[in-house]
């Protein structure tokens, strides 16, 4: 596949920073910091960062993200829901 086609496929399977903020409750600043620190894989588009779903899931389940006590309520609810589904 050409580089252009690979990039198009990657963008289709990605989320924008705003979408991640709405889904998890983490701030735009935190998400952008993760991108700049290369903790999550992203492609800079015309309207901001496009973050791959695989990279986001891997990061959100990493020990770096899960440690500490200060987590947004949306993220805590998302973790609770995932934990309950795994128990079934």
- The CA distance from 64 to 39, in Å, is 9
Per-residue model confidence (pLDDT) at position 80: 81
Model confidence pLDDT, tens digit, residues 52-65: 888 888 888 888 88
The residue among 63, 57, 70, 69 whose CA lies nearest residue 27 is 70
Q: Which whole number is the average pLDDT over 31-60?
A: 89
Q: Does residue 23 contact residue 74 with C-beta atoms inside 8 Å?
A: yes
Residue with more model confidence, 78 or 19: 19
pLDDT at 16 over 60: yes
Among 13-17, 29-33, 59-63, 77-81, whose mean pLDDT is lowest? Answer: 77-81
pTM for this structure?
Answer: 0.73
> Given pLDDT bands bounded at 50, 70 and 90, which one contains residue 10?
low
């Amino acid at each position: 596949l050409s580089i252009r086609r690979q990039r198009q496929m990657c963008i289709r399977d990605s989320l924008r920073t705003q979408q991640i903020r709405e889904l998890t409750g983490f701030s735009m600043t935190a998400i952008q910091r993760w991108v700049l620190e290369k903790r999550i894989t992203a492609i800079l588009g015309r309207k901001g960062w496009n973050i791959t779903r695989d990279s986001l899931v891997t990061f959100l389940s990493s020990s770096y993200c899960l440690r500490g006590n200060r987590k947004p309520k949306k993220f805590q609810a998302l973790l609770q829901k995932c934990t309950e589904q795994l128990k079934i």
